[in-house]
Amino acid sequence: DAKTTQPPSMDCAEGRAANLPCNHSTISGNEYVYWYRQIHSQGPQYIIHGLKNNETNEMASLIITEDRKSSTLILPHATLRDTAVYYCIALAQGGSEKLVFGKGTKLTVNP
């Protein structure tokens, strides 16, 4: 699975959009981009995933560049409860589909 690179930390004001970047320049054509987040002392929580097209669900939007070498997770109106570590993972479906976590981005939403 492709390696991903994320900034170690970011800050965001409550109510504003949080844009979390991820680089995955070696991603293969069959690898999806998955995002998870982990709030302190809890297990990771699935947010969203995509292959080529931009995706949106009730939690977030995922923007993937046309060359698929990077993506951005957007939380449109960040709340204090969005403070967490966010993980970007490249994963090929099929096989074991085990997630390979990096250190992620610690997002702090400030009042």
Q: Which residues of this chain interact with other proteins, rule CB under 8 A?
A: 34, 36, 41-47, 49, 85, 87, 91, 93-94, 96-104
CA pair distance 98, 83, nearest whole angstrom: 25
Taking the CB of residue 86, how many other CB atoms lie within 10 A of it? Answer: 23
The residue (of 91 and 109) whose beta carbon lies closer to other proteins is 91
Closer to other proteins by Cβ: residue 70 or 104: 104
We find the least distance from the C-beta atom of residue 46 to other proteins, in angstroms, to be: 3
Q: Are 20 and 10 in contact (CB under 8 A)?
A: yes
Phi, psi (degrees; rounded to nearest 5) at 66: -60, -35
User: Which residue, 26 or 45, has its beta carbon nearer to other proteins?
Assistant: 45
Which residue, 74 or 92, has its beta carbon nearer to other proteins?
A: 92
Contact present, 64 and 33 (Cβ < 8 Å): yes
Q: Minimum Å distance from CB 47 to other proteins?
A: 8
Nearest distance from residue 97's CB to other proteins, in Å? 5
DSSP H/E element including 87? strand 84-92
